[in-house]
């Protein structure tokens, strides 16, 4: 009896020890599992559709990479730059950042302020990008960023409407002015421009007429006060002759409502503006890049849709690099994103879309036109300076409503542009 009691006590003690050890092991494993998870943050801007597919992609990535937790930081584009300024200069940016092309060079003018992605080539398939794509993000020999795609201002026209007026699609600025003469009785604009399109169209016009670029290859401001006056005068002519609606009143729904017979925007926004009109059965086609009839230069440029960079002092460069590779080269991310950021710059992402017959639609056709055009040059990142754009639009608005005269307005704008480009 006593022996049985001793044996039972021993077995009970053993069981308790075993249970205790197993419980401790389980707790240890859970703690270790928690400890080894690495957090990587990723910031971007976008509307609901982009946010949705990006979040789906990040969720899929985490399901396949159990040791990583991705912290998303996203917002609408309006105000995003102001937030980035604060974060960048307070060193609170995300590990991976979506940046506008011009911001990259603003934040890292000498190439020293982002992680050199060449040092992370073990984790990022850089061979998926051609030399032009890599050059966009290379500053002083350091690869600061990778492009999501390539972009340019493109003119899209409702051919159904142009045909109804007996008009051919515009090839130059004069054609657009002539179309306005025909359409204005119905209060229809031949084309509507976003603020960026209005600004870059005015820059293009000056270069076409004078042959002079606003910025030199090294980014120095080259315009004279007369060039700035010509910019403003051109846009005022487009407004006064009803070629385009004021950019500050731009409404993306005007194309589907037949209030405009065209729209000028980035390739990456083509579906956003054109698809609703296509659903109504309108034939939306891609037009030429407009020129002056006696143009001595093209005046039109291409640039990255946006770029991805990694924080210079990220605590997890390897994990950040692997996530960046997934964002630009990953098949699952490519299929979720489609052409939501334009046609991908990555050959790997492009092949994933091609294999599933996803390379189609207005954005793809616009990209093909851009890729086959020999007249488009690579844009200086400084040409998109937000301060210059805002000044041009506000000055144009003052002129349009008679609050300023062009002589004084152009001289003031010229002086401010010189100051901003110093």
**Domain boundaries defined on the chain:** 36-149+305-329, 151-303+369-420
Q: What is the CATH number of domain 151-303+369-420?
A: 3.40.190.10
CB atoms within 10 A of CB 221: 16
CB atoms within 10 A of CB 16: 10
pTM for this model (two decimals): 0.85
SS3 at position 307: strand
The bridge status of strand 262-266 relative to strand 192-193 is: parallel
In this structure, what token pair is assigned to residue 416? 């401010």
Please tell me the distance from the alpha carbon of residue 58 to that of residue 326, in angstroms, as a whole number: 9
Same fold across 36-149+305-329 and 151-303+369-420: yes
SS3 at position 378: strand
Helices (H), 37-111: 48-64, 80-89, 101-107
Which residue, 47, 19, 43, is CA-closest to 99? 43
pLDDT digit string (tens) for the chain, length 422 residues? 444 444 444 444 454 444 444 455 555 455 545 557 899 999 999 989 899 999 999 999 999 999 999 999 999 988 899 999 999 999 999 999 999 999 999 999 999 999 999 999 999 999 999 998 999 999 999 999 999 999 999 999 999 999 999 999 999 999 999 999 999 999 999 999 999 999 999 999 999 999 999 999 888 999 999 999 999 999 999 999 999 999 999 999 999 999 999 999 999 899 889 999 999 999 999 999 999 999 999 999 999 999 999 999 999 999 999 999 999 999 999 999 998 888 999 999 999 999 999 998 999 999 999 999 999 999 999 999 989 999 999 999 999 999 999 999 999 999 999 999 98
Choose which CATH entry (3.20.190.10, 3.40.640.10, 3.40.190.10, 3.90.1170.50) describes domain 36-149+305-329. Answer: 3.40.190.10
SS3 at position 258: coil
What is the chain's alpha carbon radius of gyration, rounded to the nearest angstrom?
27
CB atoms within 10 A of CB 47: 11
**Residues 307 and 104 sit within 8 Å (Cβ to Cβ):** yes
How far is residue 13 from each of residues 18, 21, 62, 286, measured CA to CA in Å? 8, 12, 42, 81
Which residue, 123, 54, 136, 133, is CA-closest to 94? 54
């Amino acid at each position: 009896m006593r022996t049985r009691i001793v044996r039972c006590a021993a077995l009970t003690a053993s069981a308790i020890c075993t249970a205790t050890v197993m419980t401790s092991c389980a707790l240890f494993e859970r703690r270790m599992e928690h400890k080894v998870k690495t957090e990587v943050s990723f910031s971007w801007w976008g509307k609901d559709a982009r946010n949705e597919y990006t979040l789906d992609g990040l969720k899929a990535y985490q399901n396949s990479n159990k040791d990583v937790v991705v912290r998303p930081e996203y917002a609408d584009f309006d105000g995003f730059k102001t937030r980035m300024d604060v974060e960048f200069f307070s060193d609170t940016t995300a590990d991976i950042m979506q940046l506008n092309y011009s911001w990259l060079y603003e934040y890292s003018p000498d190439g020293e302020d982002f992680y050199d992605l060449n040092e992370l080539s073990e984790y990022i398939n850089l061979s998926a990008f051609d030399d032009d794509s890599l050059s966009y993000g290379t500053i002083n020999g350091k690869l600061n960023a990778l492009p999501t795609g390539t972009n340019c201002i493109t003119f899209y026209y409702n051919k159904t409407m142009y045909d109804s007026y007996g008009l051919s699609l515009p090839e130059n600025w004069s054609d657009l002015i002539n179309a306005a003469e025909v359409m204005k009785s119905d209060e229809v604009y031949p084309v509507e421009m976003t603020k960026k399109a209005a600004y870059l169209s005015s820059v293009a016009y000056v270069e076409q007429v004078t042959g002079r670029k606003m910025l030199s290859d090294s980014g120095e401001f080259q315009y004279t006060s007369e060039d700035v006056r010509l910019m403003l005068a051109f846009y005022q002519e487009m407004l006064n002759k009803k070629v385009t609606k004021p950019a500050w009143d731009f409404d993306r729904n005007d194309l589907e409502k037949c209030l405009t017979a065209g729209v000028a925007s980035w390739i990456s926004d083509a579906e956003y503006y054109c698809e609703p009109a296509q659903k109504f059965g309108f034939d939306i086609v891609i037009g030429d890049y407009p020129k002056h009839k006696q143009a001595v230069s093209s005046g039109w440029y291409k640039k990255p849709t946006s770029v991805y960079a990694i924080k210079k002092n990220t605590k997890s460069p390897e994990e950040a690099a692997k996530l960046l590779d997934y964002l630009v080269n990953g098949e699952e991310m490519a299929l979720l994103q489609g052409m939501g950021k334009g046609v991908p710059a990555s050959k790997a992402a492009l092949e994933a879309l091609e294999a599933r017959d996803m390379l189609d639609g207005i954005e793809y056709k616009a990209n093909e036109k851009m890729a086959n055009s020999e007249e488009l040059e690579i844009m200086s990142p400084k040409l998109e300076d937000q301060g210059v754009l805002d000044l041009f639009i506000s000055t144009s608005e003052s002129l349009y409503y008679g609050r300023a005269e062009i002589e004084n307005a152009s001289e003031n704008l010229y002086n401010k542009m010189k100051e901003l480009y110093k």
